[in-house]
Structure 1
């Protein structure tokens, strides 16, 4: 009985306490009440596409809107082929046709929230990886209408996490508040990345873990992520994100 109580205490401290704290801080923020009132313009993070001949890849994440914005973010992918004068942005959304191409500026605010750059790759490496990204996007199994579930997935973060796993050379994982990132497609229970550097085990995105050089050690409970980052030392907290040492 004591061990059960201790388990619930750990879950409360590690998963629920940060979530409640984030929700409280979120409630005090001045934020848009409706979609039409939010800012969706460029945040000015990326250089103009025509300023460089180099190929480029960017992955962004930004906290979303409404109450879910207290604990969850939205991720998207941006690419630019060598010599291209424009960026191409890929999102998955929960309305209309879920897969969107250039629905928003490449580095736009999301529901007025400043985007965070998760990873970037430029030059020759980006040039080599862009075709693989295109193939992964084309193969994503939940791209049709009806292929979106806000929780536990598949949602916008499920899509981007799928691409990151299919192209592990990007060397990135989404932040802990990217709820839905741990949902594996087609009911898959275990996934080992092609380079064998990350292992993912999940029960429909509700309970599981990830371990490896990119993920570090993560424990997932009801879509909430806590863990330790090894490659870039830090801790991962639900709703809060990554805190570096």
Structure 2
């Protein structure tokens, strides 16, 4: 009983308190009440593709809509080959066929929420990555209608995490609030992190531990993540995500 009380106290302080404070803050924001009224337009983060001749790869994440925005981000990948006049955006969504190409503007808002840049690769390195990214999109194991599951996964973040694992040279981690990124269909998973810079153990993405240079230190309980960013020192708090400089 003593150990149970300790665990519940630990869980409340490390996981529930940050979520509760973020929920209070989120309730004060001007969020769209439904998808029809939300702003899905470009956030003007990217130049026109024609004005940028080199190859580029971008990973974006944006808060999801309504009450789910308290907890979670939606992530996606954008590529542009050298000399191409358009960007190509890859998402996974929860309606119809999950894997979508150019569903929205490359840097479009998600449910009215502006995207946050997660990764950016340019030039020859991007040229080498893009065919592998496209292959990883094609090889995604859950393209069938009905295969999407918002929690614990597979979802949009499981998809992007799959691509990051197939192209570890991207050397970037999704936000700790990208719920579904740690989902594993093996059930009990133990192995390298997607970046190959550390190790990870996970039980269906519902509980797990991650220790890596790129991913940092993460403790996952029920999809909520608390931990530390090692490369760029900061806290990772449930609900809030990265809190630091």
TM-score by length of 1: 0.96
Residues 63-90 of structure 1, C-alpha deviations (whole Å, 9 max, x = no match): 0012111111100000001111100000
Structure 2 matches for 1:105-184, cutoff 5 A?
105-184=105-184
SS of corresponding position for 1:53: coil
Cα distance in 2 for partners of 1:27, 1:195 equals 35
* 4+ residue segments displaced more than 2 Å: 1-4, 185-188, 193-196
1:188–1:166 distance in 2 versus 1, CA, 3 Å: farther
Cα distance in 2 for partners of 1:120, 1:54 equals 13
Greater Cα offset, 89-98 or 129-138:
129-138
Gaps of 5+ in 2: none
Structure 2 SS opposite 1:12:
helix
Name the residue aligned to 1:103: 103
Distance 2:65 2:169 in 1: 31
Whether 1:87 and 2:87 are equivalent positions in the alignment is yes
Match of 2:54? Answer: 54
Q: Could you say which residue in structure 1 is the equivalent of 2:36? A: 36
2:165·2:195 contact (CA, 8 Å) conserved in 1? no
Q: Deviations over 1:184-235 (max 9, x none)?
A: 2444612325774132211001000111111111110000011111111111
Q: 2: distance between equivalents of 1:17 and 1:40?
A: 31
Matched position secondary structure for 1:225: strand
Report the equivalent of 2:240.
240
| Cα distance in structure 1, aligned partners of 2:194 and 2:208 | 20
Preserved contact between residue 168 and residue 193 of structure 1 (Cα < 8 Å): no
Deviations 1:10-43 (A, max 9, x none): 1111111111111122122221111100000100
Cα distance in structure 1, aligned partners of 2:175 and 2:214: 12
Q: Is the 8 A contact 1:166 1:193 kept in 2?
A: no
1:71 aligns with 71
Q: Is the 8 A contact 2:210 2:217 kept in 1?
A: yes
User: Aligned-residue CA RMSD in angstroms?
Assistant: 1.4
Q: Is the 8 A contact 2:193 2:212 kept in 1?
A: no
1:12 is matched with which residue? Answer: 12
What's the TM-score once normalised by structure 2's chain length? 0.96
Q: 1:188 to 1:77 in 2, by over 3 A?
A: farther
